[in-house]
Amino acid sequence: MQATAGENVMRKTGVYRNDLFLEHQPGVGHPESPERLRVIYEALDKENVAEHFLFPSFDPVSQDILRLNHSARLVDQVSATQGQKYASLDADTHISARSYEAACLAAGALVDGVARVDQGELNNAFCLVRPPGHHAEQDRAMGFCLFNNVALAAHWAIQELGMQRILIFDWDLHHGNGTQNSFYDTDKVFYISSHQYPFYPGTGFFVETGDKVGAGYTVNIPLSGGEGDMEYARIVNELVLPVARTYKPELILISCGFDIYDGDPLGGMQVTPAGFAWMTRQMLSVAEEVCNGKLLVTLEGGYNLTAMRDGSLAVLAELCQENKEKLAWNYPMYLSDEQAAQFATSSVACPALDHAIQIATMSGWV
């Protein structure tokens, strides 16, 4: 396992990319198109950008790893589509000849990233992969997702690395039903989701807080729509960070959806690149506090191509830390000192957050 493009020890943010992810073709006009990644890859290929990151080599996961989170029936169903020009798994989830390969490699990126971050080979990582994963259930592909990448990475970390506490923060526009259900009855994963509600897939209300030994280890923030940088700053400042400091995870995983961007065609949020930068900066800071900086970000949704490019660069600029001033040579800094000061003290009204904080407080997390 050896990362490429970096002898310089300062470059320890891993970026997971592969052209196979562009071969997943859901069909003409489908919002989850290869262009979502292509615009990010093109930005990374520009002068003075790629040189600041490591680009590890990585392998697809085996079916044994897929079965850590998924039924043999689902694995067989998706595997059987290999070579088919087009297949439909549900009304939204369509696949092509190499979709199964791409999905296995996407999960492999996260597993490899977790391993390298845990070993200290990488400080942190961003998995720029598709298909996305957080809607995929144990026995069902849905919502553009074939296998649940972030859930598979968490299961693998628990089984292979012996981790007992993993925090997943999902800021995608849509609730990550599959991820929530994967860990609903365990205390080994704490799941926090901020999402537009009511919206697809219809889950993620306040009362969904976990079951059995997992009771209290799920927190949902069902937002009404229209929330922007200041509201999301409060979500991180007042809920996610306190939970992380109390739970003390050994690893933090972020399901990063850029569909909360102001102008996404499927959403109604108003987050800008500065907001993504702030959330990343704060999550990186708390990771340094509680788990030696072990943080991995994975791409979920986002259907505005400008958001995909600028949001990804904003996240990467924060992850690479000491190199972000150099990265800004080609792209503007996305978070000014003035904006950071405003976000740090945000007190904008957000009733859904206030209620979620009350629930987390009753469980002793805040």
Are residues 312 and 43 in contact, defined by beta-carbon separation less than 8 angstroms?
yes
Q: What is the pLDDT along the chain (366 residues), one digit of tens a residue?
A: 555 443 334 559 999 999 999 999 999 999 999 999 999 999 999 877 888 899 999 999 999 999 999 999 999 999 999 999 999 999 999 999 999 999 999 999 999 999 999 999 999 999 999 999 999 999 999 999 999 999 999 999 999 999 999 999 999 999 999 999 999 999 999 999 999 999 999 999 999 999 999 999 999 999 999 999 999 999 999 999 999 999 999 999 999 999 999 999 999 999 999 999 999 999 999 999 999 999 999 999 999 999 999 999 999 999 997 656 666 555 556 788 899 999 999 999 999 999 999 999 999 999
What is the residue range of 200's domain? Answer: 3-362
Identify the CATH number of the domain in which residue 31 sits: 3.40.800.20
Q: How far apart are CA 346 and CA 157, in angstroms?
A: 35
Q: How far apart are CA 317 and CA 296, in angstroms?
A: 14
Contacts 24+ apart (CB under 8 A), 355-360: 355/206, 356/206, 356/219, 356/220, 356/221, 356/239, 357/238, 357/239, 359/206, 359/209, 359/219, 360/219, 360/239, 360/242, 360/243
Q: How far apart are CA 314 and CA 317, in angstroms?
A: 5
Pairing type for strands 55-56 and 3-4 reads antiparallel
In 45-98, alpha helices (H): 63-66, 72-79
Q: pLDDT digit string (tens) for 246-282?
A: 999 999 999 999 999 999 999 999 999 999 999 999 9
Q: Could you write out the DSSP letters of every residue in 274-331?
A: HHHHHHHHHHHHHHHHHHTT-EEEEE-----HHHHHHHHHHHHHHHTGGGHHHHTTTS
Structurally, the chain folds into a number of domains equal to: 1
* Active-site position among 94, 135, 174, 195: 135
End-to-end CA distance of the chain: 39
CA 309 to chain centre: 15
Q: Is 355 a catalytic residue?
A: no
